[in-house]
């Protein structure tokens, strides 16, 4: 049995936590609620077991279920619910959740929070010239460019809808957000999309920035970025505007 414990739970800290959970249940003669444990198989594979225990007349009945496949399926479903299938970045639903989380965190920690709303310029014309498939490829490449330009782990990129993207920048002032917006513009200026063996016209973006200010709520934060984006379009596109 000791050898089994060593093999199934090679990490000493994790093994001691699992043992403690089980020993406590045995001591208190209580059932063990189903929990997931990472168990190492004989061949070294790591699987997730759902393990529960029922205490019956001084005996303990342990129930082991391999939950690996179910959890993988759940991961896929979660990804499908929160990932945009075309661009493989977070979707609008995920962004809406994240915005509220980060907004509340920025109030609690009294730190700045900036948001960049991005729209591909004249995308209707792009689709009309090259077709929807190349349009879709363009959206995927723009999403990749934005994600690569945004480097800090806490920064968050999502497809806002259609040809619009959004970047959420925790702990970032308006000046910092401008730097990120410039990096995105630079990355896009180097973007190439091939149509019929030739490069398509250059893709450009309009970007609107807003930073959380006192008394504003998360809707106003988004609304301010939208107003700035509208101004960027009015100013002739391919530019960055900060909401004042």
Ligand X SMILES: Nc1nc2c(ncn2[C@@H]2O[C@H](COP(=O)(O)OP(=O)(O)OP(=O)(O)O)[C@@H](O)[C@H]2O)c(=O)[nH]1
The distance of closest approach from Cβ of residue 237 to ligand X in the complex, given in angstroms and rounded to an integer, is: 6
Own/partner pairs, 195-199, CB within 8 angstroms, 24+ separation: 195/130, 195/134
CA–CA separation, 14 and 136 (whole Å): 46
Tell which one of 37, 55, 82, 123 touches ligand X (CB under 6 A).
123
Residue 112 vs 135, nearer CB to ligand X: 135
As given in the structure block, the two tokens for residue 111 are: 């730190």
As given in the structure block, the two tokens for residue 107 are: 């109030």
- Residue 119 sits in the site that holds ligand X (CB under 6 A): yes
Q: Which stretch binds ligand X (CB under 6 A): 76-84, 90-98, 121-129, 221-229?
A: 121-129
Asked if 229 and 206 touch (Cβ cutoff 8 Å), the reply is: yes
Binding to ligand X (CB under 6 A): which residues in 79-108? Answer: 86
- Residue 127 sits in the site that holds ligand X (CB under 6 A): yes
Q: How many CB atoms lie within 10 A of CB 151?
A: 9
* Count, residues near ligand X per rule CB under 6 A: 17
Q: Is 111 helix (H, G, I), strand (E, B) or coil?
A: coil
Q: Which stretch binds ligand X (CB under 6 A): 41-49, 109-117, 120-128, 211-219?
A: 120-128
CA–CA separation, 115 and 173 (whole Å): 10
Phi, psi of 7, rounded to the nearest 5 degrees: -75, -45
- Residue 136 sits in the site that holds ligand X (CB under 6 A): yes
**Residue 27 among the catalytic residues:** no
Tell which one of 111, 122, 171, 173 touches ligand X (CB under 6 A).
122
The distance of closest approach from Cβ of residue 120 to ligand X in the complex, given in angstroms and rounded to an integer, is: 6
Q: Which stretch binds ligand X (CB under 6 A): 1-9, 24-32, 119-127, 223-231?
A: 119-127
Asked if 111 and 104 touch (Cβ cutoff 8 Å), the reply is: no
Binding to ligand X (CB under 6 A): which residues in 200-219? Answer: none
Q: Is 22 helix (H, G, I), strand (E, B) or coil?
A: helix
Active-site position among 72, 163, 190, 234:
163
Asked if 233 and 206 touch (Cβ cutoff 8 Å), the reply is: yes
Tell which one of 92, 98, 231, 233 touches ligand X (CB under 6 A).
233
- Residue 155 sits in the site that holds ligand X (CB under 6 A): no
Own/partner pairs, 136-139, CB within 8 angstroms, 24+ separation: 136/86, 137/193, 138/193, 138/200, 138/203, 139/86, 139/87, 139/163
- Positions touching ligand X (CB under 6 A) are 86, 119-125, 127, 132, 135-136, 139, 162-163, 233, 237
Residue numbers annotated as active site: 163
């Amino acid at each position: 049995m000791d050898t089994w414990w060593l093999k199934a739970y090679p990490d000493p800290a994790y093994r001691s936590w699992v043992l403690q959970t089980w020993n406590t249940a045995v001591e208190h003669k209580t059932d063990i609620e189903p929990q997931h444990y990472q168990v190492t198989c004989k061949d070294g594979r790591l699987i997730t077991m759902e393990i529960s225990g029922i205490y019956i007349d001084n005996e303990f009945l342990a129930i082991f279920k391999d939950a690996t496949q179910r959890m993988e399926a759940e991961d896929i479903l979660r990804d499908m619910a929160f990932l945009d299938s075309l661009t493989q970045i977070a979707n609008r639903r995920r962004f809406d959740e994240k915005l509220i989380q980060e907004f509340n965190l920025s109030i609690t920690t009294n730190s700045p929070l900036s948001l960049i709303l991005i729209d591909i310029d004249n995308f209707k014309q792009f689709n009309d010239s090259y077709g929807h498939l190349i349009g879709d490829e363009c959206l995927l490449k723009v999403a990749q460019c934005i994600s690569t330009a945004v480097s800090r782990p806490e920064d968050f990129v999502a497809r806002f809808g259609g040809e619009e993207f959004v970047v959420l920048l925790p702990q970032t002032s308006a000046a910092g957000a401008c730097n990120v917006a410039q990096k995105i513009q630079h990355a896009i200026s180097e973007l190439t999309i091939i149509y019929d063996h030739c490069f398509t016209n250059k893709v450009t973006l309009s970007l609107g920035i807003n930073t959380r200010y006192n008394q504003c709520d998360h809707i106003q934060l988004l609304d301010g970025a939208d107003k700035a984006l509208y101004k960027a379009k009015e100013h002739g596109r391919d530019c960055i505007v900060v909401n004042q």
